[in-house]
Structure 1
């Protein structure tokens, strides 16, 4: 849940949809709990805050409001189970939202962090934070006594943010861009002497010394006429320095790229009206560039991209929505989603837009189809193909067909990325993906599509690993790293570092391999890729222990290890190592097939190990059926980990079944 109090009090779910709150009293209780910042608010205090003259059943009414809020905030919570978000503690209630779930809390953090950042980062952070304001804080409860102090505090924080943002602009050498906002700021808040000083400095650094002095004269008159006071020492010193053109007032030489960025941003803001389709397209394009920076940039890009798509969809213009969706052609290499709920929302809107798009608009149609294929990663049907499960596969093929007919290299690279994401119908398809990676590299290199050239090389790293051709994989990893350095693509290092850990594990002792994987796992911290990060390190370690036949290491794995999405397929092997054979058999009996993705063969090989250990013929038979098409491959095709050649596991199954 996301809570907003910088304006009207509202709540949104994880897909951005509004959460219905039954009435003003319900919203007031929620707002009062948000203001408490995760601390407990006694019921008596809530009663006093909600009513000047509490009714006889006030406590019961508060409990009713809390019960209604719980139903709205945790709609999927099973009956008679404790609330996790709006909790009862002692004689009161607390809203235990995550620290980043409330816009006011995030805003306070942004103000605090901005003071420690370089000017460029501080400017970006404060610009984003100021955009969270939709009106005065706690607008709905402006007259409530409990809200007044917090409203005043947040208002002061907002004014401080405006001024700190202007300071960052001045430090970046973007004085002219700071003038319009500062001029409006002092007009609305004329008692803030720091703001007058910033405006005068910005004007002076823009080559407008006379205007700067005129601003200070205006500030002097306003303070004298309205408050009967003289300007403070800082403004008086500034006026003196402006008159003598003090050297310290000259702007520090800024990075020219910063100046160009600020000038372009100011020109765009003045030329392109807000609430236009052009701005939505620009947002999507900017998010495409932001996504490849990794870390917070990737997470922010996903969130803002979805916001732009939803906004376009709400306008009802199918062609605009198609452009906003399709412009975000960020290459995807990993086959597990970082945010499944968000991806489902994007795919739903893309499919709806396809039905409304004019038939002649083939390029946008192909981009929508490619988006569906890429964002439906991991959605291939497992054992029971269905119409819904096959749609992304057909979308990928149709996007490729259109792109080839239009002879559009960028569109073809995007479509082939979708084909790659849907190329896991069964095990043993590394050669097919080898051809895809080779073509993507060729198309991208010829058309200077750097991010797709990297994608092609990373696909070829995976497929070379599937054939145990580490020399070939080395060449493609080196090529990807060189492109990443040239074009500033930091996320590439995550995948090449993990590949080199795999390479190390294939040629060194267990301790060295463990250290290599620990170092690789460090690259995932803050990378913004939870779909890759969750469970991958313990899975890689388990693969090492299985290849080294080290049952003791497996048995020593901590019980609370986070296996992410892989838990059900590794659980039987863990139980076997701990000697819990009956539970291992039960786990195998209830096991479904793993998703058809880059780890499909590896997970089936791990299942086969447990099935052999407990002599589960049915599970061995299932593993053999799924692994047989990859008999000539290793299970290292993910480019991240390996549990050894598939042929070895098939031979072990055959031996066990023949006994």
Structure 2
């Protein structure tokens, strides 16, 4: 038997079954006994706490009723003598171990992380511990003295665990991931100097010395202006070390095997997960995502769509934003669309709501789908014809709002360009009404494919943010991770020339040995998949330009591609949006693309193009 709820909604469970503990008074009794952590709570104290010092005459008999009702839920089987909720002389005690409560597991993992000698081990324990949080602790009893005290204790541990997690990321050299979260942490908890210290250190290790010093000045100004105090010795020492550029602040890059790297965007058709840059050089984008999350926590809502060419690292930015949301206590629902599912109505809504609803107890699930949200049940559970019209749109909206009432909700939709029309319409309906509810919609969109008016309208509502090319510093850091050592300048220059700095192509090229005379099969498949998704016109034009290699005029490309000259401008525009075209020229953007297109062409077509 496991007790949940110390770090979220109060529930009990046995095996895979979640049990309803009953009325609010039952829940209050259970929570008050949990707070005592295995100590006997005297009857008079329990009664006084339950009724806040003003118990009714029948308080004792009511309390015994609550206890009996709880025992029916908590005891594994009927027994002559209870073993979980036990009567002791003068009071009651809940006999549960630390592993039977989520707060107990959280505290064990936190202590385990504090005792770990290796940052990687500590990080694993801390992320598991923070993953147990589903919202503010004891939120149902925040008005009581006993609930407020325990909630404050657990919240302090949670914030400290979050700081130590970010400290572990910095110790592992993963400052590009840590800095965006630290930006949010430092400014949302400005009285905690540890957040400022870690942010300044992360910025310094990101080669942003001036920004690190600016953060320390900001901390000094806040502490002096709001509290009338100077920064503590840790911040003062760090400022002096940064000004002196002391080597002790630097972190040697640990050796990383070429295949031990994180994934970004799967190929459109095969589903293979390639490797590429994580979020190096994307601090500003993650800071923006963090700001949206902070705004949503106060009920302001928020939305954004990250747009970029295929291979630009859109997916990884979304994954990092999702991890950031989970640290903030959001419920994150991630959706990955696919071109083969564009004809399935409300496919995105199904992916969002089905797993969230299945994770709830049956009674809670029924409440979520009651009333105005009732028409959403047909969308979530049925695969047959769906009810059309505003009733379904509003029902799905109400369902999202109800889920957000349990914990702030992040809807992360990857590859919005493959979204079905009904889901596009519903997302637009949701975004226009999410300004006063804690719901954030974050999405990605690949440019150059899947364009249609409804998609453009939705992206305008979400607020498009383009993904810039990774900086040279980010490319160097990525190359060092992939190769296991800092790259030679000549190797890096050759790789950048060959791939144009595209994150996916660059990573695959380096992983394959950085030989510019060959094209890894993974790149050939990836390029071919994207060209097929762009349509027959862009595919034919790309093949023609690969064969001509920059020689010839537009008419030559059209003839080689066997297409009408009037169709060529549209095909070239799509290729340019995908980042496959070199400026205004009739040449593919970089050698890796050309070689991939040539390698993917049927042999007979290639020979025919050569004769042309």
TM-score, normalised on structure 2?
0.44
Q: Which is strand-richer, 1 or 2?
A: 2
Q: Identify the structure with bigger relative contact order (alpha carbons < 8 Å, sequence gap 6+).
A: 2
Give me the TM-score of the superposition, normalised by structure 1.
Answer: 0.41
Which protein is richer in helix relative to its size?
A: 1
